[in-house]
């Protein structure tokens, strides 16, 4: 069901399917998205300080009446807030905006050269204080993760990266699996730019599902957590309705083979 979970390395459960809210700045739109998602059974919301909508997310969650502890809330520390002290301060600001006393997952948004190791140490402190139930990273390549392994005590529990059939991240995925780091897909729908892929269209026809549903089902069957974004009530429902059909192993492999290392977002090794 839409409330299926993965278990992170520290035992905390994270719902497989979440709602992404990137660029939802309009309060009404945001509220529609979050409210619809919760109504259709989503229990996982992905925001970030830089999205400037943590306050709206917190309000919409309260208004929904779904208990806080039933919802998995992720937020992230932005690039300009990185470093030990600045991260601690940014985290306090995020909690205040969300009007919550903990988050479920706190992530380093991008591996800022020179600061991400110190930033991670701040996340460790936040985790040890129980103010984040889990901590992780985003847009980290194996060499970034290796730096954390070498210099810190706690391993990231999750890595949120761009992931879709045109960017299937085979090496990174294998590396994360070997280290018990869950991969989570951002831009899982490639921002709508791969619905015309012939294989996706033929599977869409075969299963009587939309191309978006075929792609999101592939996420789940490849063991990845996914956070598609939509502000439309119908699409939020559509994206969450992927737990009642199964692609064959062969079809999953065929979709993975569409990989062409093509990004819609920034390259993590070029972030400054």
Catalytic annotation, residues: 51
Site string for ligand NAD, 242-271 (x = CB under 6 A): -----------------------x------
Q: Which is nearer to ligand NAD, 65 or 136 (CB)?
A: 136
Closest to 164 in 3D by CA, of 105, 224, 107: 224
Cβ-defined contacts of 122-131 (< 8 Å, 24+)? 122/77, 122/83, 122/84, 122/85, 122/87, 122/88, 122/91, 123/77, 123/87, 124/152, 124/153, 124/154, 125/88, 126/88, 126/91, 127/154, 130/102, 131/91, 131/95, 131/101, 131/102, 131/103
Give CA–CA dist 71/44, Å, rounded: 6
* Cα separation of the two ends of the chain: 40
Closest to 87 in 3D by CA, of 114, 116, 111, 58: 116
Interface residue with ligand NAD among 46, 54, 104, 219 (CB under 6 A) is 46
Does 228 bind ligand NAD (CB under 6 A)? Our answer is yes
Does 114 bind ligand NAD (CB under 6 A)? Our answer is no
Q: According to CB under 6 A, which residues from 59 to 78 bind ligand NAD?
A: none
Q: According to CB under 6 A, which residues from 117 to 156 bind ligand NAD?
A: 138-139
Does 227 bind ligand NAD (CB under 6 A)? Our answer is yes
Interface residue with ligand NAD among 113, 114, 170, 192 (CB under 6 A) is 192
Smallest distance from the beta carbon of 228 to ligand NAD, in angstroms?
Answer: 4
Q: Is 178 helix (H, G, I), strand (E, B) or coil?
A: helix
Smallest distance from the beta carbon of 229 to ligand NAD, in angstroms?
Answer: 3
Cβ(162)–Cβ(110) below 8 Å: no
Q: According to CB under 6 A, which residues from 172 to 191 bind ligand NAD?
A: 186-191
Smallest distance from the beta carbon of 56 to ligand NAD, in angstroms?
Answer: 13
Does 204 bind ligand NAD (CB under 6 A)? Our answer is no
Q: Which residues bind ligand NAD (CB under 6 A)?
A: 20-22, 46, 109, 138-139, 160, 186-192, 210, 212, 227-230, 235, 238-239, 265
């Amino acid at each position: 069901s839409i409330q299926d979970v993965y278990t992170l390395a520290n035992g905390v459960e994270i719902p497989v399917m979440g709602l992404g809210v990137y660029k939802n700045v309009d309060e009404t739109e945001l509220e529609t998205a979050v409210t619809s998602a919760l109504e259709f059974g989503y229990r996982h919301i992905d925001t970030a300080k830089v999205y400037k909508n943590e306050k709206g997310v917190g309000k919409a969650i309260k208004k929904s009446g779904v208990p806080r502890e039933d919802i998995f809330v992720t937020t992230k520390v932005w690039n300009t807030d990185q470093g030990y002290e600045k991260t601690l301060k940014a985290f306090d600001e995020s909690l205040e905006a969300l009007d919550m006393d903990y988050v479920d997952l706190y992530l380093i948004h991008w591996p800022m050269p020179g600061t991400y190791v110190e930033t991670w140490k701040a996340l460790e402190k936040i985790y040890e204080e129980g103010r984040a139930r889990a901590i992780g990273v985003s847009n980290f390549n194996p060499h970034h993760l290796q730096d954390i392994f070498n210099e810190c005590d706690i391993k990231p529990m999750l890595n949120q990266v761009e992931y879709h059939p045109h960017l299937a991240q085979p090496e990174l995925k294998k590396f994360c699996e070997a280290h018990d780091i869950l991969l989570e897909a951002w831009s899982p729908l490639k921002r709508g730019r791969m619905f015309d892929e012939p294989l996706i269209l033929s599977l869409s026809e075969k299963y009587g599902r939309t191309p978006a549903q075929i792609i999101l089902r592939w996420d789940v069957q490849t063991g990845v957590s996914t956070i598609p974004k939509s502000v439309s009530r119908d699409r939020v429902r559509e994206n969450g309705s992927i737990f009642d059909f199964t692609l064959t192993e062969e079809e999953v492999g065929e979709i993975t083979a569409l990989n062409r290392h093509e990004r819609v977002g920034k390259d993590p090794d070029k972030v400054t």
